[in-house]
Amino acid sequence: MRVTTAEEMRNLDRETIEVLGIPGIVLMENAARGVVSVIYSKVKGNSAVIVCGKGNNGGDGLAVARNLYNLGYDVEVVLTAEIEELKGDAKINAEVLSKLPVPIHVVKSESQLIEVYSLLKNADFIVDAIFGTGLQRPAEGFYKSLIEVINKSGKTVVAVDIPSGLFSDTGEIIGTHVTAEITVTFGFPKIAHIMPPACNYVGELYVVDISIPEDIPFILGPERYLLTLDEVAFTYPERDVMSHKYTFGHVAVVGGSAGKTGAPVMAAEGALRAGAGLSTVIVPASLNPIFETKLTEVMSIPVPDTSKGHFGIEAIERVSKIIAEGKFSAVVVGPGLGNEPETFEFAREFIRNCKKPMVIDADGINALAESPEILKAKTQEVIITPHIGEFSRLSGLSKEEILRAPHEVASEFAKEYGVTVVLKSGRTVVATPEGKTYINVIGNPGMATAGTGDVLSGVIGALLGMGVEAEDAAKFGVFLHSLAGDLAAEELTQEALKACDIIDFLPGAIKRVKEREVNPIRHSLPFVTHLREIVGA
Ligand SMILES: NC(=O)C1=CN([C@@H]2O[C@H](COP(=O)(O)OP(=O)(O)OC[C@H]3O[C@@H](n4cnc5c(N)ncnc54)[C@H](O)[C@@H]3O)[C@@H](O)[C@H]2O)[C@@H](O)CC1
Ligand SMILES: [K+]
């Protein structure tokens, strides 16, 4: 499913009305009835105050008021303009409502906010329809105070489209805004619904199909999607009776250094659990006895090292030869490599030489920071999996610049360097060399613990090793890893979760993904859908 900006949504609304010929008032009614159906099934109480602004978001609110009234709710409306000042569909809805016994309090000045506060205090819940996608600047003066009064009331707030004061196009907070328990949005989620910190104030997100088709070719602008199971094009291959281990690929993990022997092990075991037929770690020889002790199914190939327990330049030729001549179908380079200058030189040269599909992670990425152009010369499938700090070193952007719009910076980098980027954070973004982005909304903060990135690199490596294209391997790998993290947290708590648990819960995640029925009807989501249902996890 698309994730849109306010302008893209306006274009979609306009085209649906003008080209398809669905009247705006129908879209507004669909929107309002979607909000009401969420209220009906999710919100306790039967008295509501609907706070309406003077644009179409307010128009939605007025239609919500009528629909709630029709269901028997006790409804009062606060409207920030005279009915005569409204326009178009919002005005029609205000005129209709004014003929019903629903009190409409016109409130335009701060002095009236005491009265508003007592109205709110007497209601069971509030519907916030002050601003939607039309917010142009931070809420100030009267509007700022109105929003503060809503927040101070302590009542359950259902936001229409977006909590008023949040700006649709960014996860950044631009000013005072409503904090909602539930947000019901229309058509498609907006960036603010998905990206932090704004998404923290949205509450439970529902998306209503208001009759705007997803595939209208006239949405220009960057292709930005939620990472949903439907977007994940990959399905595991059937395991034929005559399958053998090489049928499912052989992943090589190049990494490890003194003090960091766990990282390649987690990557290699993650790869096996994600379905790889074979998995081998290629490690500094002086550490090999440790690997031999730790590993059971995973094999190890020791390579002469600096004798201080990390790879140096003398290992370049040997490792390159092992990879070139071995039956490896994918390579993961980076887990636990360490950051010695000679190790970085090893990593750069190895990456330059390697012709197999590869995942570059951790210190493999740090090694590229001084010469990222190495990536441009790669012709095979390449996926880089930086966290924010690694991406900052690689791209030269500050962490603040990255966090402002991770989907945009990841997309720019992927296009410029021709690689698939998995930019890891609480909202991991997969960006393709064509510039498409997929934002992951599953997973949990319990996964912010050492080693989870190593597991992810192994999972993605396994998929690449099965011959899956980089984009699908990255998307499916991120999805599966997050789902395993959620299943692990459910059983073990977020606090206790550690990286190896994700490996242990991969089987459950694979089972869930395989069990999910693929519905033959495209976009066959119900009329009103919770974010989690959309994602399919
Ligand atoms: N046909 C459509 O376009 C549809 C629109 N829908 C609703 O319409 C909304 C968008 O409506 P609008 O474009 O009318 O915009 P909004 O209703 O979001 O708000 C715009 C109004 O607030 C004013 N405004 C903006 N920022 C302000 C600020 N900081 N301080 C004070 N005033 C400010 C604007 O001048 C305008 O009057 C969507 O969020 C959605 O709720 C839905 O009804 C579905 C169909
Ligand atoms: K709103």
For ligand 1, what atom is nearest to the CA of residue 138?
29
Q: Of all atoms in ligand 1, which is nearest to the CA of residue 24?
A: 1
Place of tokens 């489209």: 161
CA of 220 to the centre of ligand 2 (A): 25
437 and 502 in a single domain? The answer is yes
Domain of 275: which CATH number? 3.40.1190.20
Q: Which residue lies with its CA nearest to atom 26 of ligand 1?
A: 135
The pLDDT of residue 524 is 43
Q: Work out the average pLDDT over 144-153.
A: 98
Residues 130 and 199 in one domain: yes
CB 54 less than 6 A from any atom of ligand 1:
yes
Evaluate whether residue 232 is within a structural domain. no
What is the average pLDDT score of the chain? 94
Question: For position 515, what pLDDT does the model report?
Answer: 82
State whether residue 283 is helix, strand or coil.
strand
Q: Please check whether residues 206 and 257 belong to one and the same domain.
A: no
Is residue 465 within 8 Å of residue 236, measured between CB atoms? no
| Alpha carbon distance 81, 332 (integer Å) | 61
pLDDT at residue number 237: 80
Is the C-beta atom of 276 inside 6 A of ligand 1?
no
pLDDT at position 217 is 60
pLDDT, tens digit, for every residue of 475-509? 999 999 999 999 999 999 999 999 999 999 999 99
pLDDT at 504: 98
Ligand minimally distant from the alpha carbon of residue 168: 1
Mean pLDDT over 156-185 rounds to 98
Query: What's the whole-number mean pLDDT along residues 504-516?
Result: 91
**Number of structural domains in the chain:** 2
Residues 181 and 304 in one domain: no
Give me ligand 1 centre to Cα 162, in Å: 11
Q: What tens digit of pLDDT does each residue of 296-315 get?
A: 999 999 999 888 899 999 99
Q: What is the mean pLDDT of residues 160-185?
A: 97
Express as a percent the part of the chain with pLDDT over 70.
97
Inform me whether the pLDDT recorded for 157 exceeds 80: yes
Q: Express the helix, strand and coil content of the chain in percent, nearest 5 each.
A: 45, 15, 40
Ligand at minimal distance from the CA of 80 is: 1
Model confidence band, residue 518 (pLDDT cutoffs 50, 70, 90): low
Gap from CA of 184 to ligand 1 centroid (Å): 15
For residues 211 and 315, membership in a common domain is answered with: no
Is 57 near ligand 1, meaning CB less than 6 Å away? Answer: yes
- Three-state secondary-structure class, residue 412: helix
First to last CA, the chain: 14
Mean pLDDT computed over 96-116: 97
pLDDT at 306: 84
Q: What are phi and psi of 208, to 5 degrees?
A: -105, 130
CA of 191 to the centre of ligand 2 (A): 15
User: Are 189 and 258 within one domain?
Assistant: no
**How much is the pTM?**
0.94
Domain assignment present for residue 394? The answer is yes
AA letter at 446: G
Lowest mean pLDDT among 222-231, 257-266, 355-364, 523-532: 523-532
Check whether residue 168 and residue 308 sit in a common domain: no
Higher pLDDT, 269 or 514: 269
Residues 192-219 have pLDDT tens digits of: 999 999 999 999 999 999 998 877 665 6
Domain that holds residue 11: 6-221
C-alpha 52 – ligand 2 centre gap (Å): 8
Asked if pLDDT for residue 97 goes beyond 90, the answer is yes
Quick one: 193 and 308 in the same domain?
no
The pLDDT of residue 285 is above 50: yes
Secondary structure (3-state) at 287 = helix
The verdict on 199 and 296 lying in the same domain is no
> Could you tell me if 201 and 252 lie in one domain?
no
Residue 520 has pLDDT above 70, yes or no: no
Q: Which of 57, 109, 207 to mutate to test the pocket of ligand 1 (most atoms within 8 A of CB)?
A: 57
Q: Binding site for AMP: what residues are annotated?
A: 424-428, 453
Q: 298 and 405: one domain?
A: yes
Both 214 and 71 in one domain: the answer is yes
> Is 237 inside a domain boundary?
no
Q: What pLDDT shows up at residue 517?
A: 61
In the sheet with 528-530, reading across from the earlier edge strand, the strands are 104-106, 74-79, 47-52, 125-129, 156-160, 182-186, 204-208, 528-530
Over 70: is that where the pLDDT of 521 sits?
Answer: no
DSSP state of 18: I
Asked if ipTM goes beyond 0.90, one says yes
Query: Which pLDDT score is estimated for 244?
Result: 83
Output the pLDDT for position 220: 60
Q: 220 CA distance to ligand 1 centroid (A)?
A: 21
167 lines ligand 1 (CB under 6 A): no
CATH of the domain at 64: 3.40.50.10260
Tell me: pLDDT of 174 over 50.
yes
Give percent above pLDDT 90 in the chain: 87
- Residue 529: inside a domain: no
Within-domain flag for 537: no
